[in-house]
Chain A
Amino acid sequence: MFYREAGQFKTSYKADQAVFPIFQDRIFVAIWLFLGFVVVPMLANEYVFRAIFIPVIIMALAAIGLNLLVGYCGQVSLGSGAFMAVGAYAAYNFMIRIPELNPLICFLLGGLSATVVGVIFGIPSLRIKGFYLAVATLALQFFTDWTFSRIDWFTNYTPSGSIAVQPVEVWGFVFDSPIRKYLLCLTVLVIFTVIAKNLVRGRIGRAWMATRDMDVAAEIIGIRPIYAKLSAFAVSSFFIGVAGALWAYVHLGSWEPLAFDINLSFSILFMVIIGGLGSIVGGMLGATFITLLPLFLNQLPIWLGINMSTAMVSHLEYMIFGGLIIFFLAVEPLGLARIWQITKEKLRLWPFPH
């Protein structure tokens, strides 16, 4: 009744090619932005920011980045934790070695370093396909794990190998309270989402999708695979690298050498799959789901008033997490984004289904 495009005529190409061609969608996005930037900061408390909003937002950024590579370009990567690590450590090194540099620039430089690494490790994708590539990207994961724990230069010779950083300060404005950190992350997420959305609508995104659907055919119609695949690796690792820098500086504050290990890679991939391959909204939904699920499972025994040892809780958590993953894949293999799409289709007819 409320959600239909009847009567919305497009009279120019510009209107036809808008990101959100339907009026109600624009209102919907505006409401979300209003909620995110105005309502949430007024209502939420410190714990909620620190435990829920900030990690969800940063993970959403990483998931969108990985989705560009896996969902749009079809190159399965298990190395996203490594790209986050590269982003984080590069930002750290830029910041301590060139102190006069603006931290935001450092984050972007961290992302660019991840891009360089991504392109180098994307080169095998020109030769290797499918699961062979997925396993090959693990090489990067283990290599960075080793590099950042064994080569002391990267950690600035701290004795334990763990790093603690100061709050981010931009032009005298210190991002120390959770609410400021939240707004910083949210702003970054919004900017990067707009970039991602426009990339996948444009020429480059179409080249990625053609490569994903059938790379030989894409080559025949004139898409150079080296350009398509490496650009996907570059953009994706830039996103993930920036997310890694934010994760380290804004969320963690101090971190151990193995903070960016293979489990992080897997959970980002989970976010992409559960959220929905080839969907920007999917990345956000998946990040929300996968970040909140362990929190929820952790709290569940307390809410239910059951007394359990912590080891038992963590084992049960593993079980339920694994079970839910399988359940979700079986019920909706196309991910949460598909459920969202179905809801929209239904809404168009509601409340008169005929």
Chain B
Amino acid sequence: MGFFVEVLLSGLMAGVLYSLVALGFVLIFKASGVFNFAQGAMVLFAALTFVRLLDILKDSFAPITLSLIITIAMMVMLAMAIERLVLRPLVNQPGISLFMATLGIAYFLDGFGQTLWGSDIYTLDIGIPKGSIFILESVFDGGVLVAKEDLVATVIAGLLVVTLAIFFQKTRIGRALRAVADDHQAAQSIGIPLNYIWVIVWTVAGLVALVAGVIWGSKLGVQFSLSLIALKALPVLILGGFESVLGAVIGGLIIGAGEKLSEIYIGPYVGGGIEYWFAYMLALGFLMFRPQGLFGEVHIDRV
């Protein structure tokens, strides 16, 4: 039983990290209807920028703060560039064209980040505690082994979700974002500047990518494969629903737990490595019952 809980917990914590990437997708999809495949590339770019700046600025008085500020500035500039060069020319195009354009952005960012910062594997250490601890020793025999960095990541992710929720529900800009998400034209006609809103959304998504990149990066090292975690976040998205922040979190937890449990308990019978596709199959199974995901908006077709 203790082992089961241990696997479950490690799965849930991996799931939190998937949720972080999925959150970026959801934000952009909600506000602009763009299915942003470049989120993974943004994670990589943000993490690369951060880790290299940390290296360059390591002799200054506050390396982490300084590189954080510069990275954030770069993500803002990136958001502005994307809005100006990609979204604005492609306004009113079908979703599939925009999706392809974000694939273009993904290619571009992958290339650009590695041209600018090099393509080695960089270790990232910003003081997240390493090592493992035992918890719940009173409940189970021998307790449950948990990695400290996973715990920290979970706390950070939780804080981020709460912040985003407050930002969306309580602030003026958040209300404007929700208005744009509901109806572009209506939002524009009551005086919400669409372009400005898009820049903000992509910036927020960039910041989420930065957080995800730093956490993943300190876990696995900053390398090209960070860009591929977008593929891990996609089943989370369809499971939770494209429009729901809550869905991204819950979906991430389900996928993370399901993946680890299946790998341990089903994997040995079919040859292992089923983590590779299990998340997708799980999400596909869910979709057969709820085609819009768990918390997605139900679309009513009218003729």
B and A form one assembly: yes
Using a CB–CB distance below 8 Å, which chain A residues touch chain B? 70, 76, 124, 127-132, 134-136, 138-139, 142-143, 145-146, 150-151, 214-217, 220, 262, 266, 269-270, 273, 277, 311-312, 315-326, 329-330, 333
Within 8 Å by CB of B114, from A129, A135, A315, lies: A315
Q: How far is the CB of A302 from chain B (nearest CB, A)?
A: 18
Q: Does the CB pair A216–B99 fall under 8 Å? A: no
Q: Does the CB pair B283–A136 fall under 8 Å? A: yes
Quick one: which of B99, B104, B301 has the most chain A CB within 10 A? B104
Q: Does the CB pair B277–A142 fall under 8 Å? A: yes
Contacts of B86 in A (CB 8 A): 326, 330
Beyond A130-B95, A136-B287, A220-B303, is A326–B104 a contact (Cβ under 8 Å)?
Answer: yes
Q: Does the CB pair B303–A214 fall under 8 Å? A: yes
Q: How far is the CB of A286 from chain B (nearest CB, A)?
A: 11
Give bound CA distance, A249 to B288, whole Å: 37
Within 8 Å by CB of B287, from A124, A215, A312, A320, lies: A124
B187 sits at the interface (CB 8 A): no
Contacts of B106 in A (CB 8 A): 322
5 A–B pairs (Cβ distance < 8 Å), ordered by A = A146-B273, A146-B277, A262-B231, A329-B100, A333-B90
Q: How far is the CB of A317 from chain B (nearest CB, A)?
A: 7
Give bound CA distance, A340 to B299, whole Å: 37
Within 8 Å by CB of A329, from B93, B112, B277, B303, lies: B93
- Chain B residue at smallest Cβ distance from A121: B284
Q: Does the CB pair B115–A323 fall under 8 Å? A: no
Beyond A322-B105, A326-B101, is A145–B89 a contact (Cβ under 8 Å)?
Answer: no
Contacts of B276 in A (CB 8 A): 142, 145-146
Beyond A136-B287, A138-B280, A150-B272, is A318–B108 a contact (Cβ under 8 Å)?
Answer: yes
- Chain A residue at smallest Cβ distance from B277: A142
B133 sits at the interface (CB 8 A): no
* Chain B, 101-142, CB within 8 A of any chain A CB: 101, 103-112, 114-115, 119
Q: Does the CB pair B100–A269 fall under 8 Å? A: yes
Q: Does the CB pair B109–A322 fall under 8 Å? A: yes
Contacts of B95 in A (CB 8 A): 130-131
Q: How far is the CB of B288 from chain A (nearest CB, A)?
A: 6
Beyond A136-B238, A273-B100, A322-B105, is A128–B291 a contact (Cβ under 8 Å)?
Answer: yes
Q: How far is the CB of B120 from chain A (nearest CB, A)?
A: 10
Q: Which 9 A-B pairs have the closest CB atoms?
A: A318-B111, A322-B108, A322-B107, A325-B104, A139-B280, A319-B111, A330-B89, A142-B277, A326-B104
Contacts of B112 in A (CB 8 A): 315, 319
Quick one: which of A151, A315, A321 has the most chain B CB within 10 A? A315
- Chain A residue at smallest Cβ distance from B119: A311
B237 sits at the interface (CB 8 A): yes
Q: Does the CB pair A142–B280 fall under 8 Å? A: yes
Q: Does the CB pair A273–B293 fall under 8 Å? A: no
B1 sits at the interface (CB 8 A): no
- Chain B residue at smallest Cβ distance from A330: B89
Q: How far is the CB of A141 from chain B (nearest CB, A)?
A: 8
Give bound CA distance, A123 to B6, whole Å: 37
Q: How far is the CB of A99 from chain B (nearest CB, A)?
A: 28
Q: Does the CB pair A323–B108 fall under 8 Å? A: yes
Contacts of A130 in B (CB 8 A): 95
Given contacts A142-B276, A317-B111, A322-B107, 9 further A-B contacts (CB under 8 A): A124-B284, A127-B288, A135-B234, A135-B235, A138-B234, A311-B114, A321-B107, A322-B106, A329-B104
Beyond A136-B238, A329-B93, is A322–B100 a contact (Cβ under 8 Å)?
Answer: no
Quick one: which of A76, A270, A330 has the most chain B CB within 10 A? A330
Q: How far is the CB of A229 from chain B (nearest CB, A)?
A: 14
Binary interface profile of B, 287-303, with partner A (CB < 8 Å = 1, else 0)?
Answer: 11001110000010111
- Chain A residue at smallest Cβ distance from B289: A127
Contacts of A311 in B (CB 8 A): 114, 119
Q: How far is the CB of A346 from chain B (nearest CB, A)?
A: 23
Quick one: which of A151, A215, A312, A319 has the most chain B CB within 10 A? A319
Within 8 Å by CB of A132, from B94, B109, B273, B287, lies: B287
Q: Does the CB pair B273–A266 fall under 8 Å? A: no
B185 sits at the interface (CB 8 A): no
Quick one: which of B100, B114, B242 has the most chain A CB within 10 A? B100
Give bound CA distance, A312 to B273, whole Å: 33
Quick one: which of B231, B234, B277 has the most chain A CB within 10 A? B277
Q: Does the CB pair B271–A150 fall under 8 Å? A: yes
Q: How far is the CB of B47 from chain A (nearest CB, A)?
A: 17
Give bound CA distance, A104 to B39, whole Å: 43
Give bound CA distance, A123 to B108, whole Å: 35
Q: Does the CB pair A322–B104 fall under 8 Å? A: yes
Q: Does the CB pair B271–A273 fall under 8 Å? A: no
Give bound CA distance, A311 to B116, whole Å: 12
